Each structure stands twice: as C-alpha cells, then as structure tokens.
Structure 1
Amino acid sequence: MSLQEWKVRNKFGRNYAHFDSRVSLDRVWKYISNPRTVARHGFYPFIHYTLSFHKYNKAIGEKKDKKREICYSAHLDRYMYQYYAFKLNQYYNRRVNIDGLDDVAIAYRDNLHKNNIHFAKRAIDFIKANPECHVIIGDFTGFFDNLDHDYLKDTICNLLNVDRLPDDYYAVYKNITRYSCWNLEDLLQFNGLPNNPRGVQAFKQLDRAISPSDFRIHKKKLVKPHKETFGIPQGSAISAVLSNIYMLELDRKINQHVAERQGLYMRYSDDFIVIFPGSNLDEFKTDFSFITSVIKSIPRLELEPDKTQFFKYTHGVLSNCNEEILPNVQKGKNMLNYLGFSFDGKKVRLRDKTISKYYYRLYRKLKTIVKRKGVTKHGKRISCANVYEKYSIKGANESDRGNFISYVQRAEKVFAGEDAIGNIRRRHMRQIRKRLNQIEK
C-alpha cells in the first residue's frame, strides 16, 4: 500500500467521543508526519471497558463466559498510531520478503490482498496434496497481554537497523507500552448516563468524553496506569503490526526448520498451523520438540495447552493424535479447525462456532421482533428490512457493505466444489421466515 492509498483509506475520522474532539487526517497530517512534534506529543489515556460475551461449548452443553479488555485511543493519538503502524509495516513487509516469510505471517498485512478464506484453503490444500502428513494447530496464551516490552523494543530496533529508537518512534513505543486507561463506566457516571447500551450510545454522541478542565481535575484519581513490563492494549491501531514484529525471529526459525522438511508453516496473529509431510511419528515428535524450544526462547510466549491440537492425515482420513504427542492431553475430535473452517479429511465446511455466532445474533434480533408481536411500543409496525439487510441473502446482494452471507458466498467461490460450505446460505431464509411466522400465531 502506498502512502497516498493509506491517506485515502484513513481520510475520515471516527465518530466516537474521547478526551479530544473529532478530527480528519487533513487537519492533523502536518502534526503527525513531523518527527519533532511526535517526539514531544502528550498522549491521552485510552478509554477502557470490558466486553463480556458467551461462548457455547457444544461438547459439554454449557455456556462459558468470556471477557475481552477493550481500549480505544483519542482521535489525534489514533492517527499517530495509524501512521506509525503504516511506516513500521513498510519496514516489516520488506524484511519478511528478504527473509522468505512473506507467506508465513499472514495477519494484519496490507500487501497480500488475501483474507482468512484464502489462507485456510492454502493449508487444507497442502494437507490434501500429501498422501500422509502430521499437523499441529496452536495458539499462544494471552498473546497481546504478554508481549515483553524490552524484547519488543529490541525487535523494532533490529527492524529499523538502529541501535536505539529515534525520538519519535520511542515516543510512540513508550506510550503503547506504558499506557494508561480511564474506565468507560466512570465516564458514563460522570456524564449522568446509565451503564447500558443506550448510555454508551448517548456517550458516543458527545463532543468530548469530558471537558479539558474536568480532565485535569479528575485524571489523577481516575486514570489507571499500566505498570507491568509486558503487555500492550489489544485493538489499538499499532498493536497488530507490533505483534508481527515481535514474532519475526520465531517465524524465521520455525519456517526454516519446516522448509527443510518440505512442510508448511503459517501464523495468523496468535493462531498457527504447521504441516509436516510423512508418517514417521518419532520424527514428528522431534519436530514439535524443536518448535516448543523456539517458543520458549521468546520472552513470555507460551503455548495454550487447551488449544493445541495434533493430527495425522493418511490418504483422506484425518485422525486426532493428541495423546501420542502429549501424554496428559485428551484425544480431541477428528476435525481440524483453522481460521473459521473445519476439515475432516474429506469435506470442508464453515466451523460450527462461526455458524453458531451468526444464528445467535440473528435469533436474538428476531426474538425481539417476535416478543413485541411485530409492533413497537408506539403501535407502529416493526420493519424487518434491517434484519434482511444484516443477516440474509437480500443484504448480501443489495448492500454495499455485505454481510455474513456475502462472506459465505466468497468462501464458496474460493473453496469451489465444497458444497457443505453453502449449507447456511441455502437454509437461512427458511429459519428467518419460520421465526417471523410466530408473530401471526
């Protein structure tokens, strides 16, 4: 992506309230592109809230509560993070091209022009192309929350080919590692708004989260600094590229080993897949031992035991072999899940979790309409246009933005011939009509 393309893509600001007012890129470009002003810039605290959601575990038939800590930056700060993310990504893209890692680190890249569908297909096609192979699916524990600050700084210096960070880069690095937060709940209370979706929506419409004078008065009491020597806020404009830079040495070492075995290694953020051709189990154990030694060499990087899975593929038959590699790990299902797709050795389909998430959101929306008998509290008929636009084939074909069914259609096109992927597209309208028909009963 060229600088001009980046500027066009990020021309307009975001519509949310923060400690500064909304700005456009044109207004701040001279400021964020001047290294001297960046080096002296005072960053605002992030606004923080905890996103809670339920994950349904089909195996045990229970809902599991999951929480994600969300931090979002002030408007000027966000543009600064975005611009330095762009600059670092340019350095990163050149480095991975030189190191032969262009097809390894596949998340958050602006020059690959592909998405998770293409990457999942590449992995599954590679498995199918080998009569026999072993596969590792892995995940890292608390990935963004555990990035070591000193190691991160060293990797950025290495990427920039400098002994110490330039003042502007150091200012950005310092403020993404020694960041501070102001809880959204406190800001809602300060503005006399309820801590619920309506209150949050009303808060977003404010010009500022709090006046400059009130910010100065209350910041000492309500701003919470991040005091650990590890962890960066997940979701900031620069966090993604920093995580890729952090993993450069790991990617290089693992890929070199895998390439020597004529295998395939891909990493999408904290999810990775490694495929080794051949049926020799002892050799596969040695391969995994090497991978774990590389992971242990990177500060604060740990495999998530519950999400690490091992498979053996033999002439169209996929079998889980967890217990053969790690004695204390339970044997899992004979189903490989990667980047939203499932593969059983023969067929590819959308992952159950992906489909469940779609239906959960759809049914929640429909439940509200049915509960009100299709009528608002003011006696007006509730339009279903929004439901069809967001969740149906009608929205997929008519909306510029597309929806989940658009995604299914793209997956069907990439995975040509895998009919199971299209099941949800063929069935979803029936489910929508079935529930809306309850209004008439």
Structure 2
Amino acid sequence: GSDESIKRSNKKSYFENISKFREFQKNNKTLCNKNKFGIPQGSAISAVFANIYASEFDLKLKEIADEFSGIYRRYSDDFILVIPKSDIVNEQKIRRIETDTRRVASEYKIELHKDKTGLYLYENDKIFDIISNEVSHLDYLGFVFDGTTVKMRGKSPYKFYRNAKKLITFAQKVKVKKELTDLPYKKKIYGLCTDLGKNYNNHGNFISYAKRAQKKFDEISPNTNNLIMNQLKNRKKKIEKMLGYKIHTKI
C-alpha cells in the first residue's frame, strides 16, 4: 500500500514478512539508476558527497558575499546570501547579485527551486519580499524571522505534539490489550515528550533542542524577540492531558 495507508493501519513495514518481500522482488523489476551523476539519497555518505559537489559553488558565492561585505552560509542544500544595505547596494545591484548567483548555480549544475528561493529586504524592523513588495518573513533552517521576532517554523511544535499523541495513544492501547496495571513505554514517553528527556539517547529530545536554540539566539541576537520556548509553553500540562494523569516530578 501507500505510505499513508501504512501509517493509518499502524504497520511498521511494507511487508508482513521476508517471504512477502522476496515474492515482491521476484515479481517486480528493480529500478537501477545508470546515470553517472547525482547524489545517492539516504546513505550516510550523501552529505559528504553533497559538500564536495558544492565546494566550488561555495567559493564563488563567498566571493560575491565578500565583494559587498556580506555573508554566505550553506547547510546541506539550503543556502543564504546576506548583503548589507549601503549607498552602493541599490535595487539594481541586488538584481545583478541575483543574476550572478543564478549564473554560478547553473554553471555548477545546481538547481534553484523557484518556490524555495526568495529575494528579501530587511528594513525598519520588517522583511519585505522584493518581487511582490509585500511584508514577508525569512524562513531558514527551521526558524522564521519576521523582522522583530524569531520563532521555530510552525510545523515543528505541531509535529512534536502530534508524535507525542501518537506514542501515548499507542502505549494506552497496549495497556488495554495486555491488561496491564501500568502504562508501558513510560521511559520512551518521558524521554521524548518531557523535559526529563534532556539527555535521552545521549543527545536529548525536541524540547532540549528548542532550549539550546533559545539560548543561542538570546546570546547572538539579544535585540530580537526570541519566542522559541514560548511556542512550547504549557507543554507539561498538554502531555499530562494526553496521558490522563499528572507527572509528579518537577520538569
């Protein structure tokens, strides 16, 4: 079935057993990419290949940034070029920089997706879309800046609560099915869904990530209104409501 049908049925795999998988392999021809170019998706070395592939592109974009005392940063396939506004940097110059960036990308066969590419102006504590001349926001690496405030992208806390609900509901169903006196998977629930999981699996959870982000933005950008932890306000009460009982530990 489709990914969605598998999610709805709470199945953990596409095939019921190894025999079903082998039968599928036998009856369906394996697709093979015979092209001698491209980055393999999903492998551990993909990020390394991507960085090697983009290294020359990085140098060219840094040259453009340095020419105007700006900065260039790239993480995986997301990059940002920031040019300070000055007497020599007008709209015409910005258009030229955009053209040069697209030319360099084309030269190194890096595709810039139109719906994921923007041209913005930061002025008077607001972000303007230069193309539409409308008030907008900058969305980069999971954070959104509107000129005065910094937040996590809206779907990030939503996914956190959705996954928490999914895990807790699963545990509650197992409790009923197996006629248990106590809720199973408590360690995982507390580790992933509460402040108690700050060291969960040696790297923490989404809450500890949000706390680190809040701390870092407060350090490097004290003049912006950083509302990251505000997006997770009342998280303990929300998780307790899902659980159906209070967590008698200060978190």
TM-score calculated relative to the size of structure 2: 0.77
Specify whether residues 398 and 265 from structure 1 end up closer, same or farther in structure 2 by C-alpha distance, changes over 3 A only.
closer
Aligned mate of 1:310, from 119, 124, 137: 119
Residue 190 of structure 1, CA deviation? 7.4
Aligned mate of 1:289, from 75, 81, 99: 99
Equivalent position of 1:427 in the other structure: 234
Aligned mate of 1:249, from 56, 63, 88: 56
Q: How does 1:278-357 map to 2 (within 5 A)?
A: 278=85, 280-299=90-109, 301-323=110-132, 334-357=136-159
- In the alignment, structure 1 residue 362 sits paired with structure 2 residue 164: yes
Report the RMSD for the aligned CA atoms in angstroms.
3.1
Equivalent position of 1:415 in the other structure: 217
Specify whether residues 265 and 362 from structure 1 end up closer, same or farther in structure 2 by C-alpha distance, changes over 3 A only.
same
Equivalent position of 2:7 in the other structure: none
Given that 1:393 and 1:425 are in contact with CA atoms closer than 8 Å, whether structure 2 keeps it comes out as no
Q: Which runs of 5+ in 2 are unaligned?
A: 5-12, 246-251
Specify whether residues 401 and 309 from structure 1 end up closer, same or farther in structure 2 by C-alpha distance, changes over 3 A only.
same
Equivalent position of 2:18 in the other structure: 191
Given that 2:193 and 2:239 are in contact with CA atoms closer than 8 Å, whether structure 1 keeps it comes out as no
Higher relative CO (Cα under 8 Å, sequence separation at least 6) belongs to 1
Q: Which runs of 5+ in 1 are unaligned?
A: 1-49, 54-183, 196-209, 211-217, 325-330
Residue 435 of structure 1, CA deviation? 2.3
Residue 260 of structure 1, CA deviation? 0.6
Percent identity, aligned pairs only? 32
Residue 375 of structure 1, CA deviation? 2.8
Residue 403 of structure 1, CA deviation? 0.7
Given that 2:199 and 2:205 are in contact with CA atoms closer than 8 Å, whether structure 1 keeps it comes out as no
Specify whether residues 236 and 399 from structure 1 end up closer, same or farther in structure 2 by C-alpha distance, changes over 3 A only.
closer
Q: Could you give the per-residue CA deviations for residues 97-149 of structure 1, whole angstroms, max 9, x where no partner exists? A: xxxxxxxxxxxxxxxxxxxxxxxxxxxxxxxxxxxxxxxxxxxxxxxxxxxxx
Matched residue type, 1:287: I
Given that 1:376 and 1:382 are in contact with CA atoms closer than 8 Å, whether structure 2 keeps it comes out as no
Distance in 2 separating the partners of 1:237 and 1:389: 26
- In the alignment, structure 1 residue 259 sits paired with structure 2 residue 86: no
Q: Could you give the per-residue CA deviations for residues 361-409 of structure 1, whole angstroms, max 9, x where no partner exists? A: 1122233345x3x833121132333211111111126763311111111
Residue 254 of structure 1, CA deviation? 1.6
Distance in 2 separating the partners of 1:277 and 1:385: 49
Residue 52 of structure 1, CA deviation? 4.5
Residue 427 of structure 1, CA deviation? 2.0
Equivalent position of 1:382 in the other structure: 183
Given that 1:317 and 1:345 are in contact with CA atoms closer than 8 Å, whether structure 2 keeps it comes out as yes
Distance in 1 separating the partners of 2:17 and 2:179: 35
Q: Tell me, what secondary structure is at the counterpart of 1:237? A: coil
Specify whether residues 398 and 353 from structure 1 end up closer, same or farther in structure 2 by C-alpha distance, changes over 3 A only.
closer
Specify whether residues 51 and 253 from structure 1 end up closer, same or farther in structure 2 by C-alpha distance, changes over 3 A only.
farther
Specify whether residues 253 and 423 from structure 1 end up closer, same or farther in structure 2 by C-alpha distance, changes over 3 A only.
same
